[in-house]
Amino acid sequence: MEHVLKVSHVEKIYGKGANTYKALEDISFTIEPGEFVGVMGPSGAGKSTLLNVLATIDSPTSGDILIEADNIAKMKEEKLADFRRDHLGFIFQDYNLLDSLTVRENILLPLAIAKRPAKEIQEKVMTMAQTFGIENLLDKYPYQISGGQKQRTASCRALVSNPKLIFADEPTGALDSKSATDLLESLSSLNLEQEATIMMVTHDAYAASFCRRILFIKDGRLSKEMIRGNHTRKEFFQLILDELAYIGGDGHDLV
C-alpha cells in the first residue's frame, strides 16, 4: 500500500554557528491511508515544529517528506502553494474563519478557489455540514456562533475538498469539554466511515485517545509509538496518561 506520508531523516535546525538549536533530529515515520495519528510530547519537545514542517508552513533543514509521490521538502515555494491548496487540509486552534463570510461561505472557500461546479459545491458543503451537525448554522456568521461551532465549521472547510491529508493543530485547545468531544467524535467518524487521513498534534490525552496510533516526541526525537489496537478508548486514554507521566508530558491538563 502506498503511504500517504513518508518522513525520512528529517531535521530542523534554527540559528547559525555557535547559536544553533536542533528542534528536530532524525525523524522518520509513515502514515498509511485512512489512519488517525496523534503526535504528543512535553512542552518544547518539537510537536509544533514537526507539524509546521510536514504541513509546508516551514521547511526542513534536511531530510525528505513525501506526500504520496511528491517530495514537498524539495518543492519550490510557488509549486508548494498550489500543492498545499489542492492536497492538504488544516484545522487550527484559533479557527481562522473569515468574519465577513457566512458559515456556508467559509466552508465552500476551498472549492470556490478550485473552481468546482456550483452543484458539486452545494452538495459537498451540505454533506460536510451534516457530518459535523452544523447544517442549521450555514447562514450565520462566525460572530453569531459558539467556539465549538466555529471549530466544526473550520473542520468542514478543511475536509470539504477531500484532501489527501488533514493536519490538526491542538484543535480542541480552545473548546469546552462537550464541544471538544463533539469535534473529536465527528473527526473519528469521518476517519472510520470515509477513511480520512488525519494527523493531530495535541497535548491532551483525552483528545489523543480518539486516535488509532500515537507518536511521542521528546527533545526533537521520536521516543515511542503507541497503537490502540483492541483497547477501548478508555483503556487507551489511561495508557497515554501513563506514557506522558513517564516522559514528562502535560497530559493531566485535560479538556
pLDDT attached to residue 96: 87
Task: Give how far Cα 182 sits from Cα of 69, 93, 134, 152, 189, Å.
Answer: 34, 15, 11, 9, 11
Confidence label for 230 from pLDDT (cuts 50, 70 and 90): very high
Confidence label for 255 from pLDDT (cuts 50, 70 and 90): very low
pTM strictly above 0.85: yes
**Which residue type occupies 116?**
R
Of 82, 90, 84, residue with least CA distance to 157: 90
Instruction: Look at residue 251 and tell me whether its pLDDT is greater than 50.
Output: no
Q: What percent of the chain has pLDDT over 70?
A: 96
Question: What is the SS3 assignment for 240?
Answer: helix
pLDDT attached to residue 36: 97
Confidence label for 1 from pLDDT (cuts 50, 70 and 90): low
Of 81, 78, 71, 88, residue with least CA distance to 9: 71
Q: What domains lie within the chain, and their CATH numbers?
A: 33-46+76-247 (3.40.50.300)
Task: In whole angstroms, give the CA distance from residue 131 to residue 218.
Answer: 35
pLDDT attached to residue 5: 96
* Cβ atoms of 178 and 148 closer than 8 Å: yes
Mean pLDDT of the chain: 91
pLDDT attached to residue 206: 96
61-94 pLDDT per residue, tens: 999 999 999 999 999 888 898 898 889 999 988 8
126-155 pLDDT per residue, tens: 999 998 999 999 999 999 999 999 999 999
Backbone torsion region of residue 139, taken as left when φ is above 0, otherwise alpha when ψ lies between -120 and 50, otherwise beta: alpha
Angle of CA points 79, 53, 240, to nearest 5°:
140
For residue 183, with 0-12 CB atoms within 10 Å meaning exposed, 13-18 middle and 19 or more buried, which class applies?
buried
